[in-house]
Amino acid sequence: MKTLTSMLAGLLLAATATAQTPDYSQFKTDDEENNIEIFKSVSPSVVNITNSRLVRSFYSFNPQEVPQGSGTGFVWNKEGYIVTNYHVVQQADRVTVTLQDGTSYSASAVGVDPDKDLAVLRIDAPDAELVAVQPGDSSQLEVGRKVIAIGNPFGFDTTMTVGVVSALGREIDSVSRRKIRDVIQTDAAINPGNSGGPLLNSLGQLVGVNTAIYSPSGASSGIGFAIPVNTVKRIVPELIAYGRVQTPVMGIRQIPQADYYRRQWGIEGVIVLDVFSGTDPERLGMRGLIRDQRGRIQLGDVIIEIDGQKVRNEDDFADVLEQRSAGDMVKVKTVRDSQIQEYEIRLMPPRSR
């Protein structure tokens, strides 16, 4: 005769066997819904980038294609332009872009800016296959805002990580050793392979381009950096149109190894080596380095301010000019022989390379 306990156990097993699997989708939080929506809408814009170099074989002396590395990029527009980091494609002989559907295209370099670690590629893909990312406004970011990174860390394609803006206004070194300023710091996991991928806000808009991590081990340690989208929006159109950034010039030549000489002479500012003929600096009497009768070098003008912005070094100087256009008038303040000199100089188009 069955006991009451065994009968109840049998009924419970029968009920469990016939019960339907719960619909867990109804338990998603608003934040999870937001993450899922962003991933579905933006991931088609994210691409995988691989590059290779031609290396001569030691045995046959024939050139062989050798994989060099990989990274991430994203579709800028339906004309086939792809944005990524400069260091992702640096020194590559061949670059391949793979879309989310697995289709691969050979890419050509349109323009690069090593100073900001940005590059623009182009692929010949049908419009229907290209989903452009929507640029946002990085000036609206605040510490604590949610951000999402999508990329290809360690070769695992289309991976999403979520974090917050940890800090704003950071500085990191670019490939050219120039400082990239106003960089976004985030704790969203960014690993090797994420470079060049998008950093997104909770609206799915591009707010930065992931570019570097701080890590003793080489893997994510919770400190990643992204170039702000407002910098990207300014630079990418110039790279597309001209192949390089159209920073205007002042008509002066700067001294090489300037940091060394600044320390030697105990000064701050941009040391003018000389001025170019036919420019405003020459016409207005700006002076570069000269040698006295004993052959000793004497300082000429040292630029310390442009339009009220302090200029301490070449990075400051370049940052100010990058915000200007050819034809703009700027007020330049220098020091020469312990005296303040002031000039009004019209900026000129960059010299052809």
Choosing from 113, 115, 117, 319, the catalytic residue is 117
Told to judge if 87 belongs to the known catalytic residues of this protein, a careful annotator would answer yes
Q: Which residue from 346, 321, 353, 307 is spatially nearest to 111, judged by alpha carbons?
A: 353
152, 96, 101: which is closest to 124 by C-alpha? 96
Neighbours of 150 (CB within 10 A): 24
CA 136 vs. chain centroid, Å, equals 15
Under 8 Å between Cβ of 262 and 246: no
195 is catalytic: yes
Instruction: Give the pair of three-digit tokens for residue 172.
Output: 């990191």
- Asked whether the beta carbons of 174 and 117 are under 8 A apart, the reply is yes
Task: Return the SS3 of 116.
Answer: helix
Task: Find, among 328, 326, 330, 325, the residue nearest to 309 by Cα.
Answer: 330
Catalytic residue among 138, 195, 301, 316: 195
Which of 87, 115, 220, 301 is catalytic? The answer is 87
CA torsion 268→269→271→272, rounded to 10°? Answer: -160
Burial pattern 106-133, b for ≥16 Cβ within 10 A else e, equals: ebeebbbbbbbbbbbbbbebeeebbbeb
How far, in whole angstroms, is CA 197 from its chain's centroid?
9
137 classed as catalytic: no
Annotated catalytic residues are 87, 117, 195
